[in-house]
Amino acid sequence: MNHLFGWADAVAFQLGGETVRWSDLLGNLLGLATVALAIRRSLWAWPAQIVGAVLLFGASMAVHLGGNASRQLVVLAAASYGWWRWNRQRGAQHPQGVAIRWATNAERLALLAFLAVGTLGFAWLLSATHSSWAPLPDAYIFVGSLAATLCQGRGWVEFWFVWIAVDVVGVPLAFHSGLPVSGFTYGVYFVLVIAGMRQWIGLARRAAAVRSARPAARPDDAAQTAPAQTAPAARSGPPASALEASALLTEGARA
């Protein structure tokens, strides 16, 4: 597999007795860039994640982590979906491509079920095919990364919590697998994820406040104004869509 990646799988340097591959180094640098760009809700987060996934696929195959390698392929597909979705939703109300919100209770239950069933099922597959020396944590990182990327594409705040859980398992697994750069990067991810989570929570709260502030039309008012063909009364404020756009634009400027 290494010959398919050429220089990307070549050894960059030695660190603390561990071999650091170019694919591991560059892939994780792009991973850090992905998190930083996701905090700012930049569309560039998606192409950075796609290129990083290709490089980390090579690094994982080199150290016999089949689950982590498969994870990169699925992350690549999920990131492509997220890139498409954010581009499709760009507009006046969501200038940065996505509406930030909390998942509903039903969506949260579906997410937890996917994490549990997916992890157990993929761990069994890895064990049966001898594709990983640590099938359960390897599978957990794979399924968690997929779930987090899909949730990010839909603008759910919960995707940050899923990434935290992935980092907790990813740090020791990477160091024990001979990928020190990946292990160190998972630790840096944890700090960035906390910062991003706090920002997205604030965005979700402001978006919810904007939605609750929208004036509700009363049926008796509509009945009174319907017969008379008079000029419409002046509004006391901007339409709800403008309020929401203003809130998102202000947050984007702060970021």
pLDDT above 90 as % of the chain? 14
Most confident of 76-80, 105-109, 135-139: 105-109
Could you tell me the residue ranges of all domains in the chain? 17-207
* Residue 241 neighbours by CB under 8 Å, 6+ apart: 92, 93
Cβ(159)–Cβ(101) below 8 Å = no
pLDDT in tens, 138-172: 888 889 988 988 898 888 999 889 988 888 888 88
pTM for the model stands at 0.61
Task: For residue 100, report the phi and psi dihedrals to the nearest 5 degrees.
Answer: -80, 130
Cβ(82)–Cβ(234) below 8 Å = no
Average pLDDT over residues 194-211: 85
The C-alpha atoms of residue 240 and residue 248 are separated, in whole angstroms, by: 12
Nearest in space to 80 (alpha carbons), one of 41, 40, 51, 46: 46
> Would you report the helix, strand and coil content of the chain in percent, each value rounded to 5?
70, 5, 25
Question: Please, how many CA atoms are within 13 Å of residue 161, restricted to the half-sphere of its CB?
Answer: 10
pLDDT in tens, 36-76: 888 887 889 889 999 999 888 888 777 776 767 777 888 88
Confidence of residue 85 (pLDDT cuts 50, 70, 90): confident
